[in-house]
Amino acid sequence: MGNVVVVGSQWGDEGKGKVVDWLSERADVVVRFQGGHNAGHTLVIGEKVFKLSLLPSGIVRPNKLSVIGNGVVLNPWALLDEIEAVRAQGVEITPENLLIAENTALILPLHSQLDQHREQGNSGTRIGTTGRGIGPAYEDRVGRRAIRLGDLANPDTLASRVENLLTHHNALRRGFGAEEIDGDQIIAELQDVAPKVLPFATAVWRHLDEARRAGKRILFEGAQGAMLDVDHGTYPFVTSSNTVAGQAAAGSGIGPGAADFILGITKAYTTRVGEGPFPTEQDNDVGRRLGERGREFGTVTGRKRRCGWFDATMVRQAVKVCGISGIALTKLDVLDGMEELKIATGYRLNGEPLDHFPASMADQAAVEAEYETIEGWSESTQGAQSWVDLPATAIKYIRRIEELIEAPVALLSTSPERDDTILVRDPFTD
């Protein structure tokens, strides 16, 4: 039995929720390995719509073990709110089916406050964060001053941990002209939430090792997309964690050899939320049409997404960096009825050809996409469940994408419904 890592191959919002849910039905364990409650997955199961930000997608299915790994930064209050919301939809959540790594760093109210102070006070580069404290929490983790979930079980040392944290944060707050934080208040808040979240805390890596040795199928679920990776993305317009497939190992406590198949979720066009370079963006009727047909609004923030043509050069880079075995191509039906389509096959930088997305912020802003035009199709692909249901020109578009990104299509999604999926290669068994 194989273990599968699911990552986004663009700037997030590729439709991972449906694909992960489709795969989670066949998995035994579903692991979330990075990010925080800034990322959202929408799952449609029958008549119910689940909007998840922290909980792994497997939580909505019975007899699945869901795991929040150490690579996640955890807002305990947001987690409890999400648990209650999902419970209200009839889902049972207990320490028997949800485990959280005891070494997971916590997001506190002061982190989101710092996030907002920075974004509002930054007169230069605006990143366009969600303001939920993800970045500051990761900074504290790397700076070795974070409060971790397991710390809540040790009230005798919690006070010193909070004092160390506030030495840093109160200095920052003074710089912003903000009121300093009372350590006693934070301690009281953490002591109040501790008994509600500690029952889920455990040495996650041991459970994953046991599951692997028992031959269980493990699904590793990433958030955002490869081009938002803090190292490999469009820096500094990125998230604060590693979103590439290699993070599945470090962010869950299992060796990199555990990944048997890496599935890159890839939208049939391109979108991004927030600021940053976007070579194929269409700030015109084409972009508006893609946004309206694709209902391109963020699950967590509700922000309108920027839309543009498919960027094969960027996705090919994600394929290489993540070691993607195959892609799940989503939202093909959004392109129905368009007379012609364009695919970015390369870039030009200062008049010279370029076959990859550069690392320099200045170069990223300056690259210009070079396009290849492909005939569109008038027939509907929505709800197609086999290749014979697809127009010949749609298949031609898919095949050209495969050639350009140098990776095959393993799954093809043609609507938000789970059954509207064409399986080409089974990630768990092939």
Contact assessment for residue 329 and residue 297, using Cβ atoms and an 8 Å cutoff: no
Neighbours of 382 (CB within 10 A): 15
Q: What are phi and psi of 6, to 5 degrees?
A: -110, 125
- Are 300 and 40 in contact by the 8 Å Cβ rule? The answer is yes
Annotated active-site residue in 41, 117, 169, 232: 41
Q: With CA atoms as reference, report the closest residue to 118 among 168, 39, 172, 180.
A: 172
Q: Is 13 among the residues known to form the active site?
A: yes
H or E, element range at 211: helix 204-213
Residues 426 and 202: their CA atoms lie apart, in Å, by 32
Q: Exposed, middle or buried: residue 127 (CB in 10 Å: 0-12, 13-18, 19+)?
A: middle
Q: Which residue do the tokens 């929505």 mark?
A: 382
Q: Which of 13, 28, 140, 311 is catalytic?
A: 13
Written as one string, the DSSP assignment of 149-190 is GGGGG-HHHHHHHHHHHHHHHHHHHHHHTPPPPPHHHHHHHH
DSSP 41: E
Q: Does the active-site annotation cover 207?
A: no
**Helix 134-142 and helix 109-121, axial crossing angle in degrees, nearest 10:** 110
What are the Cα distances from residue 133, in Å, to 1, 100, 129, 274, 359? 38, 19, 9, 16, 25
CA-CA distance, 379 to 292, in Å (whole number)?
19
Burial classification of residue 120, based on how many CB atoms lie within 10 Å of its CB (0-12 exposed, 13-18 middle, 19 or more buried) = exposed
Cis peptide before 236 (omega within 30 of 0): yes
Q: How far apart are CA 375 and CA 289, in angstroms?
A: 17
Catalytic residues: 13, 41
